[in-house]
Amino acid sequence: MSKPHWRERLKPVELLVLSAVLGLFAGLVVFMSTRDIILGLIFLGLAFIVSLVVLAMLALAVEPNLEEKLDLREQNEQEDRGH
């Protein structure tokens, strides 16, 4: 079985970092407008979770390109031969 490409391994990290940035932005906007740290932290957490779920669902909705389809077909053939 072939090892996953570095881009495939970093995809979850990309989603987490982007969600963290969006959450931090939302938390800072709320904190700067209300000056309430607790409310800012609540919105930071909410924005992080919501953005993570939305980005993950969008990543699942993307259809694989030709190269990915060929790679999946090769992996399936290797599994069929191994079992």
- What pLDDT was estimated at residue 70? 86
Cα–Cα distance between 15 and 66 in angstroms, integer? 23
Cα–Cα distance between 22 and 36 in angstroms, integer? 19
Amino acid at 22: L
Residue 25 scores a pLDDT above 90:
yes
Cα–Cα distance between 43 and 22 in angstroms, integer? 11
Percent share of the chain, pLDDT over 70: 87
What DSSP character marks residue 1? Answer: -
Residue 57: alpha-carbon gap to chain centroid = 8
